[in-house]
Amino acid sequence: MSTGVYTKFLANLTKIFAADLHAFPACIAVALSGGADSMALLNLLVRLKEDKLNNLHIHAITVNHNIRPESAEEAQKVGEVISKLPVKHHILDINQKINSKQMERNARELRYKLLLGACEKVGAGDIFMGHHRSDQLETFLLRMLNNSTLFGLRSMKPVSNYPIVSPNLDLKVVRPLLNIDKTEILNYCKNSGLKWFEDRTNFIPGLTKRNYFRSLLRDDKHKLPPALQKSKILDSLAKVESFNRIIDLRMSNIRKRLQEEGADVIDPKTMSLKLFFPADMIGPLNYVALDRYLFLDMYQVSASANYFHEFTKVDDKYSTFIPKITGRKGKSSLIEDIWNGKKPNRFTLLKCQFDVKRSEEGIEMEISRAGEDPRRGFHVLPFDIISGEPMQWLFFDERLFLKFSCIDPDMSGSYRLEIFKDKAHLDMLKKSFARYSGFKKLLNKYHIPVLIRSEKGDASGSSDKIIGFPTLWKYADDVRPGSIVCEMKMKRALL
């Protein structure tokens, strides 16, 4: 049996989970498409279980996208192939229609939602994926085409946060094959006698941009200019990785100091973030690190649904890949602009409200949710609460998970969550709270979520009533204490 790939695989795992693998989780999931990459990964994990981790529980999850007529049958065949292995196999079906114009992105989003649900169900905090070096090259070219920053061009990391947030699970994606070539994986599969299935849609160049780059990279010396051939791309990837490691180290030092000095604090009641960057930390060598730190930290406050693709709104000056355009007129660094007095004391960015004070000591800022823009619509989340019945988590305003329960039958009914606005909610506020003036300023300044009970069949909304403000733990005067309970969790910072 081939040992080269297994040796690399073990070496990669020791970097992730420590030398003796003592930090390796007891239960894991594997994204098993049935292709050579994922079948090789599953085989490697089974070898690991048999050699070193006998008590490891492995859940192999196959998603049937229903794009090809034969995909459902193929998913069943994958299960048959691995039926004798010490793993549990799960097949998940995507029943929604996948948008053909954005097939790769749409399929990925639907697949990731199903995989998250499966991991929550089986209790796996880590999901292993078979991405390899060739996938890295494709991703690099795709992101370069989209003018990504040096952080985006880093492509995939051996361990990363799952792209969908969950209140139940801090799920991590583990990719232990990133430094292994596709040819090595194919040889491993052949030498190990593994069976795999080819998805023909992966080899149609015109179907997706990734497919197009995959076809070019197969014979790169004849189809690509020298600067975009594999060896050059790998060299660029190494430089990008080196840059990111330097920034990671700087951010780690920034975080350690701010935590020691109590200068990075989140208030769960107002869902606002207070930061202080001391003057000796601010300067040209640290602008991009501070920008990146701020971006990853304020994620927990932002209501932006497209947050991961918006770093250039914070820094498009020092994070640009192409040196010739770095620093050109029009490009900016947020921390540099604040420090040099080019930003006002109050401004909005990434659906966050910034209140900034600059002094000789440093930069002090409070970051909270920005007010809603009527032109883009308001966040409204309707739901029902039924006395005595369990309720699923709700995700509201791209920031907050909430789960309500009630023991009072009179509190059963239809509800909705909104962001407090004087124009829409002031009259209801006055009716529900006799002493509302004591906290009304908080509602307007921090744009606090408000829980409203609505009467069915009343289109006018005249009988709607504010029940409370869950994050402030304030409920209407006539709501009996304990009759309605709310469990809450904020998004975590990305640091």
The residues, any chain, with a CB within 8 Å of residue 129's CB and separated by 6 or more, are 30, 31, 38, 41, 173, 174, 175
Residue identified by tokens 């790998």 is 234
Q: Which two tokens stand for residue 170?
A: 């801090």
What does the pLDDT look like over 434-485, one tens digit per residue?
A: 999 999 999 999 999 999 998 765 555 568 999 999 999 999 999 998 899 9
Asked if residue 321 lies in contact with residue 288, where contact means CB atoms within 8 angstroms, the answer is: no
| H-state helical runs in 176-300 | 182-191, 209-218, 220-223, 230-260, 287-297
Q: Give one word for 455, left, alpha or beta, with left for phi > 0 and alpha for psi -120 to 50.
A: beta
**CA pair distance 264, 268, nearest whole angstrom:** 13
Query: What pLDDT was estimated at residue 195?
Result: 95
User: Given strand 264-267, what is the order of strands in its sheet?
Assistant: 264-267, 272-278, 362-369, 352-359, 346-349
What does the pLDDT look like over 395-437, one tens digit per residue?
A: 999 999 999 999 899 999 999 999 999 999 999 999 999 999 9
Asked if residue 282 lies in contact with residue 362, where contact means CB atoms within 8 angstroms, the answer is: yes
Q: Which two tokens stand for residue 233?
A: 């791309």
Residues in a beta bridge with 92: 63
**CA pair distance 385, 404, nearest whole angstrom:** 7
Query: What pLDDT was estimated at residue 105?
Result: 74
Q: Tell me which residues of the chain have a pLDDT lower than 50.
A: 323-328
Burial class, 106, CB count within 10 angstroms (exposed 0-12 / middle 13-18 / buried 19+): middle
Q: Give one word for 274, left, alpha or beta, with left for phi > 0 and alpha for psi -120 to 50.
A: beta
Q: What's the predicted TM-score (pTM) here?
A: 0.88
Q: Closest Cα to residue 443, out of 271, 321, 305? A: 271
**CA pair distance 277, 269, nearest whole angstrom:** 23
The residues, any chain, with a CB within 8 Å of residue 77's CB and separated by 6 or more, are 34, 197
